[in-house]
């Protein structure tokens, strides 16, 4: 395995509508910039390799697995994390999650919600096959049936 060693560099990031500067190696995953530098711990570390999706955030409205997305890739991309969705839980997807009592342990749910937001951004009225294809994050508690119900419910509410 090649050793990655980048010197610290300054990056300007736009997260949840706020511009901030961070001083990190260029290959630092967005996940760790969010969690360790900016203190936004809503996006979770699950696998570090893009397999599980617990770290999912939006970049310009599209879902990215932030554990495998280097800060240098971001350029002028606008990042939205779960904290930026709505702190009072009144985004339609958050509301659908509450209405359907989706979470069990809850650890993967921020990533699931951000994936659902991205799916509904691109496909406002998904059918079950669209949800199967679009919601690929791992939930180790197995909350998929309620996630499916919640995505369908949110799509009926209409997206923002």
Partner 1 sequence: MSANQLSRRSFVTVAAGAGAAFVLGFRCVDAPSKPALKGSSAKATVKANVWISIDSDGLITLTVPKPDMGQGARTVLSMILAEELGAEWEKIKVVQAPADGTNYGGQGVGGSGTVRGMFEPLMKAGAAAAAMIKGAAAKEWKVDPSTCSLEDGHVVASASGKKAPIGDFAAAASLETPPADSEVKPRGKGQYRLVGKPTKRVDNKDVVTGAATFGLDVKIPDKKVAVMVRPRVFGSSDKSFDDTASKAVPGYVATIPIGSSIALVGENTWAAMMAAEALKVTYDDGPNAGVSSATISKGMAAAVQPFPDMPSGAAKTVSATYELPYLSHATMEPQNCTAVITGDRCEVWVPTQQPEGARRVAAQTAGVTPENTVVHVTLVGGGFGRRLNVDYVQECVAIAKQLGKPVQLVWTRTDDLQHDQYRMATLQSLKGAVDAQGNPIAWYWQLIESGGGRRNRGGDAGAAPSWNDGGSPYNIETKKRLRASIGAPIPTGAWRSVENTYQQFAFECFFDELCTAGGKDPVQARLDLLQDERLKATVKRAAELADWGKPLPPKVGRGIACFSGYGSVITQIAEVDCSGKKPKVKRMTAVVDCGLAVNPLGVEAQVQGAMMDGISTTLYAAITIQGGGVAEMNFDGFQWGRMADCPHMKVEIMPGGEAPQGMGEVGYPATSPAIANAIFAATGKRVRKLPVKMDELA
Q: How many residues bind partner 1 (CB under 8 A)?
A: 68
> Sheet of 78-80: strands edge to edge?
18-25, 8-15, 78-80, 56-59, 62-65
Note whether 94 binds partner 1 by CB under 8 A: yes
Q: Which stretch of DSSP H or E encloses residue 24?
A: strand 18-25
62 and 106 in contact (C-beta within 8 Å)? no
Among 12, 20, 127, 136, binds partner 1 (CB under 8 A): 136
CA distance 137 to 114: 10
Q: By CB under 8 A, tell whether 117 contacts partner 1.
A: no
CA distance 96 to 66: 24
Tracing tokens 């998929």 back to the chain, one arrives at 144
Q: How far is the CB of 113 from partner 1 (least distance, A)?
A: 6
**80 is a contact residue toward partner 1 (CB under 8 A):** no
Region binding partner 1 by CB under 8 A among candidate stretches 48-56, 58-66, 72-80, 152-160: 48-56
The verdict on 145 binding partner 1 (CB under 8 A) reads: yes
- Helix or strand or coil: residue 25? strand
Assess 108 for contact with partner 1 (CB under 8 A): yes
- Contacts with partner 1, residue ranges (CB under 8 A): 1, 3-8, 24-25, 28-29, 32, 35-37, 39-49, 51-52, 54, 81-83, 85-89, 94, 97-98, 101-110, 113, 131-133, 135-148
């Amino acid at each position: 395995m090649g050793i990655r060693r980048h010197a610290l560099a300054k990056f300007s990031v736009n997260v949840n509508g706020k511009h901030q500067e961070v001083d990190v190696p260029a290959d630092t995953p967005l996940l760790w910039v969010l969690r360790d530098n900016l203190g936004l711990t809503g996006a979770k570390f699950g696998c570090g390799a893009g397999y599980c999706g617990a770290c999912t955030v939006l970049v310009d409205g599209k879902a990215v697995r932030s554990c495998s997305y280097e800060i240098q890739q971001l350029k002028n991309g606008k990042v939205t994390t779960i904290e930026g969705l709505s702190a009072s839980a009144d985004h339609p997807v958050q509301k659908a999650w509450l209405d359907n009592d989706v979470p069990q342990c809850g650890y993967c749910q921020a990533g699931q919600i951000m994936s659902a937001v991205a799916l509904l951004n691109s496909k406002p009225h998904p059918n079950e096959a669209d949800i199967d294809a679009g919601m690929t994050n791992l939930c180790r508690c197995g909350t998929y049936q309620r996630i499916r119900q919640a995505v369908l419910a949110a799509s009926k509410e209409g997206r923002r």
